[in-house]
């Protein structure tokens, strides 16, 4: 990034120290330990910490300026010419800096939200659009009120398209991110059950996701899951693009086939190849296709972008396990919807005789959490051979399978450490194992033990 102290002083008129317009900030950081070059330190105040206490470390790490919460005492060791800009709230100050820099760079802004598939869709959109544009995307999972502005201030100056993942757990959060970034285009991947504990129902979740419209530019367009009835409340028209398998969608997905770890499918008459697992990822790819069409990316470039994608970790990540087993690590997070989709994915692996599901607890599902866990049994059938449930909530999945007398081998362990020796015995070249649970279950620790070193 590149913002002069003079530009920053215009939005923060209460300040001290030098404000030379010839001095430019190159980086903004909230981590006092991170080495920066010509950096600005933004001290975040949390429940258990106060970033203001680490201003000396930040200066030693290369900070040449900082934000400072008004009414907090400025330490005497700070040089009198060190620029400090006073704000009521440093997080809001960070957001103002991000908006200033966004206006200066003026890229096409794409916002992505949804219960599941946000990160994968972000990676798909990036892979396709970078074929034509200088494109930047949310790094990792920086998708909240702090992470999104940090993404914006990290954009290279030549960015033409920025792709912003927008996460939330309650009402108002997506609205804030949308008003901060003013998207030209928005994508809602789907409506699942994540955070239903706070939002009350899937209808409440849809309402929260639709907040992405709040800050969109007047001529902005929104791309949605056209197969989801809860998104049908968006007024039909030229500003809404619907993607899906139902024939009334604007982008119609058809002829989906899975061969050699790739999906082949047709969208509006064009054949595409996707190097990802899961029919749900075909739909995620259709959002990227819709956006590419809007931004005039040549169809051959779109095809190349979908054929080779670099995904953020632990999203249907394939690896060889001990004894030659195939391990699919989808343990980054989970909801009943995404767990069911992942289960359907491994059914496509016809070359493996043993198809094993290692399923753990899902969180933030509210008062119906037991029913929602048990609903996973709806998709457990042939050719699934084994289900290993882990955790107190995961046990509900195992209980439901037993009660329905579904013909699979089912096992239950309260602690993942107890399951490790048993899973190790299952490994073989004929076995494929899916690991899926909420982030808090940390099933990736099992994957690390089981993968081939």
Mean pLDDT confidence for 22-46:
95
Chosen domain end from 283, 307, 331: 307
Write down the pLDDT at residue 316: 81
Higher pLDDT pick, 20 / 2? 2
Residues 194 and 336 in one domain: no
Average pLDDT over residues 9-26: 92
* pLDDT for the residue numbered 236: 67
Residue 294 shares a structural domain with residue 338: no
Please state whether the predicted TM-score (pTM) of the whole model is above 0.75: yes
Query: 245 and 330: one domain?
Result: no
Determine the pLDDT at residue 314: 66
**In the structure encoding, which two tokens stand for residue 30, read together?**
């909230």
pLDDT tens, residue by residue, 231-242? 987 876 669 999
Going edge to edge, which strands form the sheet with 15-16? 15-16, 84-87, 63-69, 39-41, 27-29
Give percent of the chain with pLDDT exceeding 70: 99
Pair type for strands 409-413 and 270-274 = unpaired
Q: Give Cα 418 to chain centroid, integer Å.
A: 31
Shared domain check, 440 and 359: yes
Torsion of CA 167, 168, 174, 178, to 10 degrees: -20
Is 102 domain-assigned? no
What is the pLDDT of the chain when averaged over all its residues? 94
Whether residues 302 and 329 share a domain: the answer is no
Q: Mean pLDDT over residues 346-356, rounded?
A: 93
135: β partners = 161
Q: Judge whether 100 lies within some domain.
A: no
Question: What would the pLDDT profile of 263-294 be if each residue is shown by its tens digit?
Answer: 999 999 999 999 888 889 999 999 999 999 99
Range of the domain at 340: 317-450
Domain count of the chain? 3
Please name the residue that has the structure tokens 């106060």.
50
Pairing of strands 431-436, 354-359: parallel
94: its two tokens: 């960070």
| Cα-only R_g, the chain | 24
Percent of the chain with pLDDT over 90: 82
pLDDT of residue 30 exceeding 80: yes
Average pLDDT over residues 6-16: 95
Query: Which residues touch 413 (CB under 8 Å, ≥6 apart)?
Result: 388, 389, 390, 419, 422
Can you point out the beta strands (E) in 114-160? Answer: 135-137
| Per-residue pLDDT at 45 | 94
Q: Identify the domain boundary among 284, 307, 330.
A: 307
């Amino acid at each position: 990034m590149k913002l002069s102290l003079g530009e920053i002083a215009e939005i923060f008129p209460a300040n001290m120290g030098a404000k030379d317009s010839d001095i430019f900030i190159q980086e903004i950081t909230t981590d006092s330990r991170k080495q920066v070059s010509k950096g600005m330190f933004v001290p975040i105040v949390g429940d258990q910490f106060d970033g203001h206490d680490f201003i000396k470390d930040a200066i030693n790490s290369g900070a040449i300026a900082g934000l400072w919460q008004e009414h907090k005492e400025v330490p005497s060791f700070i040089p009198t010419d060190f620029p400090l800009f006073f704000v009521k709230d440093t997080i809001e100050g960070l957001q103002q800096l991000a908006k200033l820099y966004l206006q200066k760079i003026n890229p096409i802004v794409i916002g992505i939200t949804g219960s599941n598939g946000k990160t994968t869709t972000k990676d798909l959109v990036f892979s396709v659009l970078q074929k034509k544009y200088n494109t930047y995307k949310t790094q990792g999972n920086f998708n909240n009120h702090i992470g999104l502005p940090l993404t914006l201030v990290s954009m290279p100056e030549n960015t033409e398209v920025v792709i912003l993942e927008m996460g939330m757990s309650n009402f108002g959060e997506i609205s804030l991110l949308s008003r901060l970034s003013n998207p030209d285009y928005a994508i809602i991947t789907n409506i699942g059950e994540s955070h239903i504990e706070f939002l009350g129902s899937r209808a409440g979740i849809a309402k929260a996701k639709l907040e992405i419209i709040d800050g969109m530019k007047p001529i902005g367009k929104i791309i949605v899951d056209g197969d989801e009835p809860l998104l049908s409340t968006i007024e039909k028209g030229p500003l809404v693009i619907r993607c899906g398998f139902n024939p009334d969608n604007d982008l119609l997905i058809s002829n989906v086939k899975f061969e050699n770890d790739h999906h082949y499918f047709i969208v509006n008459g064009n054949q595409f190849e996707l190097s990802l697992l899961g029919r749900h990822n075909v739909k995620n790819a259709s959002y990227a296709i819709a956006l590419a069409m809007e931004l005039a990316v040549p169809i051959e470039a779109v095809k190349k972008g979908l054929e080779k994608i670099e995904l953020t970790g632990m999203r249907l990540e394939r690896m060889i396990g001990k004894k030659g087993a195939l391990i699919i690590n989808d343990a980054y997070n989970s909801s009943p919807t995404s767990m069911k989709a992942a289960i359907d994915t491994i059914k496509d692996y016809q070359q493996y005789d043993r198809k094993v599901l290692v399923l753990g607890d899902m969180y933030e599902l509210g008062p119906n959490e037991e029913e929602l866990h048990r609903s996973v049994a709806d998709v457990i059938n042939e050719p699934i051979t084994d289900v290993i449930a882990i955790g107190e909530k995961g046990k509900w999945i195992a209980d439901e399978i037993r009660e329905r007398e579904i013909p699979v081998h089912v096992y239950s362990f309260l602690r993942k450490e107890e399951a490790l020796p048993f899973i190790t015995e299952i490994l073989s070249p004929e076995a494929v194992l899916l690991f899926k649970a909420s982030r808090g279950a940390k099933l990736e620790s099992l994957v690390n033990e089981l993968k081939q070193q």
